[in-house]
Structure 1
Amino acid sequence: MMSTSVELAEPAALRRGQPGFRPVSVGLFFAGFTTFALLYATQPLLPALVSAYAITPGTASLSISVTTAALAVGVIPASALSERWGRRPVMVGSLAAAVVFGLAAALAPGFGMLLVLRGLEGLALAGLPAVGMAYLADEIHGAHLGGAMGLYVAGNSVGGFGGRIVVSALAELTGSWRWALGGIALLSGACLVVFALVLPASRRFRLAPVSARELLGAARAHLADPVMRRLYAVGLLVMGVFVCAYNYVTFLLLGPPFRLPALVVGFVFVLYAVGTATSTRAGRLADRLGARPVLLGAAGVGVVGAVAMLTPWVGVVVAGLGLITVGFFAAHTVASAWVGRRAEHGRAVASGLYLGFYYVGSSVGGTLGGVAFGLAGWPATVGFMVVLLVLAAAVARPLRARA
């Protein structure tokens, strides 16, 4: 009888230093890499798309906005599928489909078909972010969740800058944005293989298929929580700033007074590496000091960075972009971990809602930032980013210091 009770006991949540902690963290790191490498693959190619299709920068940015919008639509259904089929199978299947659509996008005959395929790619990727956050919340002890979530977000940042550098280099070497998109899809496929080999099966999750009514009920419950609403809003606002900055800084640096070579501008995305260190440290800092101080500090750092990008000195512009990167990754790490801690039930739905708002912010911020850029140039884009960051701080301020 005692033996049966031990066998049926739920495994303990993993703590840092235990044998199972590292495979979980490393596996989700590669998942984060693949997601961001595919999701924002066209970001350094926006000037090339403007030239190839004789379109405006704002129209070219739709190649990113449709992808993130489709991901935002798909996160809740993907979360529901993970409850029925399991966390790991949904994540692996989603990334595999996204790699296929990424390869197809490189062969798209026109800009309209490129948008369709990029939208399908975003829909496929929806199975990774929310489910990955829920997987971590299931498997990792709450006291160590901030650090583990930080490593996952660090994978996002490495995928962000690594993917963009690869895309920029391939575009420069081959003279073709198509080869660049195909190359990053192949690299993402290799990372998918590593992810599938390293990530352990869920230990603490149990299949629990949910009906549409239960799914909507869980979503309503999370949206009725004022803390969750504020965390979702923070994710939306800081992501809007981040995507806006990286979408249009390329046009700023290619044009007067800087006129930098395209390959040099591509290496600006190395600043994502700052996010790798920031995300892990911000998560651990929030574990010690509380989430609200880190969120407010992140918004303040972002404002300083945005204002610095108004100067005519390239070094200061790049430093300002680095500060925006620091602020974004710190805020995203802390807000996403707080969502995972607070959701006692329906964690996949809670994470899906957060990611839905987060990627709506990407689509809206990226598109409206382009409208501002087209109407009044870079100063208007900076003003738009500052407004979003001030709103993020105002939203976060009433939160309690600790989750």
Structure 2
Amino acid sequence: MSTAFTLTLTHLSERCTLTAIGGAMAAYITGNVASNLFGRLLASGLADNFGLAESFYAFSVLNLAGALIAFLYFKDGPPLSSSTPAASSVFAAWRTHLGNPRLRAAFGIGFIMLFVFVGVFSYVNFVIAEPPFALPQMYIGLVYLVFVPAILTTPVASAVTRRHGARPTFLATMAVTLVGLMLLATSSLALMLLGLTLVGAALFFGQSVATAFVGRSAQHDHAAANGLYLASYYIGGIAGALILGQIFVAFGWTAAVAVLSGLIVIAALLGLKFHEDAPE
């Protein structure tokens, strides 16, 4: 899935003009938001009603359908948005991209975004399953309906970014994420659900801003730039699951939320690099 993500972002980066990249990325991230919601609900429904193996078979069919769509609609051709010659090797491309402070900031942000997302939505289940919430398993699954607002807000990320700029837009998403995280430390279920909604919507919105920024900032070798961003992104997810779990077990949910809040502050500081007045 991470390879498919990288290749699709690269296809969008190379086939869209610089002004169209933001909208294309926002549309693609919106599809990912929807998949987070419907995929989880579909998986649990299939497993409960038909069995675990049947759930895997159904998702295999969906992956094959994705391959067919890619075969029919992904056409090779010269990049439309590239303005600089490609590097001589992938290692040279990596060196060039890592030498760009704006792209380095974006890679760091990618790491933090999935760290926080995986950390929140992995371990909040344990919190709401215990007192004072004590939700039954069926209702815990329905908690993922908090992704619905993100399906509505993420598509407008491109228009907001065009109007206000990548840096102010991203900083605003981090501020909303911080508010959501603070609500997660309360003992009110309503506030907890509101916090999850804000965190999910803001992180997906910020992800759209960040991926579009990478697409616009990398003037060549988009596959290498997107690959570095997504490598950081998925490594962040692994770290979030591992590290936050240890913090949660040793110190509790409030400490875990405090760590995540600190990371969001770091992401906001990195977002100060999101200016687009100088090419790579």
Alignment pair present for 1:188 and 2:62: yes
Deviation at 1:183, TM superposition (A): 5.2
Query: Which amino acid letter does the alignment assign opposite residue 218 of structure 1?
Result: A
Counterparts in 2 of 1:325 and 1:184: CA distance versus 1, 3 Å? farther
SS in 1 for 2:199: helix
- Greater RCO, CA 8 A, separation 6+: 2
Deviation at 1:187, TM superposition (A): 5.2
* Match 2:36 to one of 137, 152, 160: 160
Alignment pair present for 1:363 and 2:263: no
Corresponding residue for residue 119 of structure 1: none
SS in 2 for 1:127: helix
Query: Where does the alignment leave 5 or more consecutive residues of structure 1 unmatched?
Result: 1-124, 207-211
2: CA distance, partners of 1:402 / 1:322: 34
Alignment pair present for 1:287 and 2:176: no
Corresponding residue for residue 340 of structure 1: 215
Deviation at 1:371, TM superposition (A): 0.9
Considering only CA atoms, is the larger Rg found in Structure 1 or Structure 2? 1
2: CA distance, partners of 1:193 / 1:225: 34
Counterparts in 2 of 1:349 and 1:401: CA distance versus 1, 3 Å? closer
Corresponding residue for residue 135 of structure 1: 11
Contact 1:163–1:184 (CA under 8 A) maintained in structure 2: no
SS in 2 for 1:128: helix
Query: Which amino acid letter does the alignment assign opposite residue 181 of structure 2?
Result: A
Corresponding residue for residue 177 of structure 2: 302
* Match 1:330 to one of 205, 211, 214: 205
Query: Which amino acid letter does the alignment assign opposite residue 247 of structure 1?
Result: S
Corresponding residue for residue 73 of structure 1: none
SS in 2 for 1:242: helix
TM-score (norm: length of structure 2): 0.89
Paired positions, count: 273
Identity among equivalent pairs (%): 29
Query: Which amino acid letter does the alignment assign opposite residue 146 of structure 1?
Result: G
* Match 2:145 to one of 263, 270, 283: 270
Corresponding residue for residue 247 of structure 2: 372
Deviations 1:150-207 (A, max 9, x none): 0100111111111111122234445x6x34752552453364256336524134349x
Contact 1:142–1:341 (CA under 8 A) maintained in structure 2: yes
Query: Where does the alignment leave 5 or more consecutive residues of structure 2 unmatched?
Result: 81-86
Contact 1:167–1:183 (CA under 8 A) maintained in structure 2: no
TM-score (norm: length of structure 1): 0.63
Alignment of 1:73-92 (within 5 A): none
Query: Which amino acid letter does the alignment assign opposite residue 165 of structure 1?
Result: L
Contact 2:102–2:273 (CA under 8 A) maintained in structure 1: no
Corresponding residue for residue 119 of structure 2: 244
Q: CA RMSD in A?
A: 2.3
Corresponding residue for residue 84 of structure 2: none
